Amino acid sequence: MKKYFMSLVLVLLLAVAAYAGVNINTAGVEELQSLPGIGQSKAEAIVKYREENGNFKTAEDLMQVKGIGSKVYEKISAQVEVGK
């Protein structure tokens, strides 16, 4: 019974982690590249923009980054967050 409970807890933790969004205010280049349509150059542009302009207030602010248009944003919008 204990093994079953521990397995269930592990599965639930993994499920929560899988649905957690990428925080665009803290993510590094490597983590940003996990988003669909975001390669190294776009990830670097996001980090550079954040360093020069401060934290993003909303996820939609990503579209202010050169190379991130509405189509790219649509692909990643469900997977990004700005944190609290």
Nearest to 51 by CA among 31, 72, 29, 73: 29
Q: What is the pLDDT of residue 33?
A: 96
Contact 68, 8 (CB under 8 A): no
Amino acid identity of 13? L
Question: Where do we find the tokens 């990004």?
Answer: 80
Tens digit of each residue's pLDDT (9 = 90 or more) over 39-81? 999 999 999 999 999 999 999 999 999 999 999 999 999 999 9
Taking CA atoms, 1 is separated from 4, 9, 15, in Å, by: 5, 12, 21
- With a CB cutoff of 8 Å and minimum separation 6, the contacts of 43 are 29, 30, 32, 33
Contact 22, 78 (CB under 8 A): no
Of the pLDDT bands very low, low, confident and very high (cuts 50, 70, 90), residue 7 is: low
Q: What is the pLDDT of residue 46?
A: 97
Q: How many CB atoms lie within 10 A of CB 46?
A: 24
Tens digit of each residue's pLDDT (9 = 90 or more) over 13-49? 444 444 568 999 999 999 999 999 999 999 999 999 9
